[in-house]
Amino acid sequence: MRLMRTDVPIFLQQRGSGTETLLMFHGWGMTGESWRPLAQRLSADWQMLIPDLRGFGRSAKPPNGYHINNYLADAVRLAQRFHLRRITVVGHSFGGTGALYLAARLPQLVSKAVVLSTIPGAKSPAVDPRIQRHFARIQALSERAGDRQLATLLHRLWRQSLALPPSLEIEDSQRRAADGAARHAVLATLHTILSTDITPWLARIGVPTLIVRGQLDPLLGDGRDGLEAIPDAVRVTMPTAGHYPQLEDPDGLAAHMRRFLKNL
């Protein structure tokens, strides 16, 4: 674990071993710790680079710079720092949008993509309006919450998006993530979610892509996720998972990813 000294310091965890590298982007309001259950199951086969995205966890929380292009630049710097020529990007929700954007913009770097509970940004006309309204509601609640109330709100929103009760370890980890949230970063990243639409880029994704959704996801529900334009994507629905398959069924998700990444 170390802090990467770039223009915006990024906290990074390195886990696992192997000749192939997974670069893993967590979801909104979370940290790299949210990948721990899944990383434990993949560590024998892959090296994993797991950053806390800018604005979250132990990474820097600059006053501005939360556009999707800022996250793209951070990912490129990490790849350059480790001299990586080819990577698999893995992203959850907010981080999944960034993973797809990276795959579309830098096909020479990305070899495969795996996204969980993801949309191409809430501004996309291809996304179900109910999902858009849900994110707008989260923004309104976050804007009204005071500094002392924000952590409680973030933890409650996280809890409401789970289909299964979390373990105490996962609960404690997410509570720390909520407690460490910075109000300006929370609001800025919500604005990014609501103002982003990478739909025009999806058709340019030329790498194998796995799209995972939880059948019991309270946030996405059964609405359109707007990812239909990705060529030849493989879709998997996990019957017991909500919005967080990597926490709710890490064994099942690891099995799906292993089959996809190893072409089994």
Tell me the per-residue pLDDT of 97-147, one tens digit each, with 9 for 90 and over.
999 999 999 999 999 999 999 999 999 999 999 999 999 999 999 999 988
Residue-range domains of the chain with CATH: 2-261 (3.40.50.1820)
Burial degree of 119 (CB within 10 A; 0-12, 13-18, 19+): buried
Tell me the per-residue pLDDT of 237-261, one tens digit each, with 9 for 90 and over.
999 999 999 999 999 999 999 999 9
Q: What percent of the chain has pLDDT over 70?
A: 97
Q: Residue 108's CB: how many other CB atoms inside 10 A?
A: 8
